[in-house]
Amino acid sequence: MSDGAKVRVLVIDDSALMRKLIPAILARDPDIEVVGTAMDGNFGLKKIEELRPHVITLDLEMPRMDGMEALRQITRNYRMPVVVVSAHSVNGAAATFKALQLGAFDFVPKPFDASQAKMEGVAEALVEKVKIAARYGGKGTMPLRESAKVRKPLHRPNAAPTKVVAIGISTGGPNALEHLLSELPGDFSGAIVIVQHMPEGFTEMFARRLHECCAIDVREARSGDVLVAGRALICPGNRHMRVRRMPLGDVVVLGDDDKVNGHRPSVDVLFQSVAKEFGSRSIGLLMTGMGEDGAEGLGAIKKSGGLTLAQDEHSCVVFGMPKAGIDRGHVMRVVPLDALPNVLVRNCSISPRVTATAGVNG
């Protein structure tokens, strides 16, 4: 779309209430124009031809042609970014990640009670993601691969990591993280801690999906989880995550303190603690995402003697977070997504391993 033009949005949802509330929320922004609504996928596809929107918001559970089939046809026949408005439930989370696999740009969780008052809680995120989709969605996302269970090592001792890899990521993150983590070997010698900007209730399903398709262990973090080689811990939505060195093993600690940079979890919170606790044994990595969260924390890792990396612009869906770190002079190496697994393996294999003592939740 051209600069200065309003973002034309088509809303596809079988709920008459949502077909009123979503346009009303979007219409508050002077840069957005809702050009139409549709009650199911069949009507939606016809209106795409007629109205030529820039962005589509899409419900997944609809009669006749459901959202998933509509998404397949939209990604196959049109170059239009889709923001999924998904049910905030276990089944909704599973469907959302399936939609990302099919090429949806991003998602916003629909509250359990999708009344006008409850929708206000996601209004800001909905407006922001529609505008981001309009700006960057034409680039397209890397569709998630079909999840396939992989063979885990038969015996994986709780070995202390040679390095602690801290990753900050947002828009485009599920696709990029799956690509990165699934390429790491089961005997990866580093421990990984991840802040992915994602709503509460979705990170557990995301971690479970990654665990099934990766040779390393992946789980949603709990306070007291031990940092061990070959394990990735994903911060739960709406919590902050820090690391702490303890006599019985190095662990993660979750907290509910105020948002930082408008986020909880915040990448800066994680990076600052990794820099403080692990210094030269730390690796900080900023990946695809909007905004500046993590840029200052990356500077702390660099100052402490750690290695700092950023995903390159070409492989990012949104280059905002890596660019913020680069612009501040905090990034030591800019690396394409496809090369990141080898870079991490190589840099985590430098130090010898030592045996760790398992602790709480270890």
Torsion over CA: 67, 72, 77, 82 (sign): positive
What whole-number distance in Å separates Cα of residue 199 and Cα of residue 214? Answer: 23
Q: Is 293 a catalytic residue?
A: yes
Residue type at position 290: M
Nearest of 43, 265, 82 to residue 167 by alpha carbon = 265
CA 188 to chain CA centroid, Å, is: 22
Contact call for residues 295 and 321 (beta carbons, < 8 A): yes
Show Cβ contacts of residue 135 under 8 Å, excluding neighbours closer than 6 positions: none
Strands 159-160 and 106-110 come out as unpaired
The active-site residue out of 189, 293, 312, 315 is 293
Q: Is 170 a catalytic residue?
A: yes
What whole-number distance in Å separates Cα of residue 199 and Cα of residue 176? Answer: 18
The active-site residue out of 59, 86, 189, 197 is 197
The active-site residue out of 59, 106, 147, 170 is 170
133 token code pair: 């989709």
Strands 240-244 and 251-255 come out as antiparallel
Contact call for residues 274 and 281 (beta carbons, < 8 A): no
169 token code pair: 């990521």
Torsion over CA: 222, 227, 228, 232 (sign): positive
What is the four-CA torsion angle of 279, 310, 145, 107, rounded to 10 degrees? 100
Taking the alpha carbons at both ends of the chain, their separation in whole angstroms is: 50
Helices (H) and strands (E) in the chain, counts: 11, 16
Q: Is 263 a catalytic residue?
A: no
* Residue 63 exposed, middle or buried by CB count within 10 Å (0-12, 13-18, 19+): exposed
Q: Which residues are catalytic?
A: 170, 197, 293
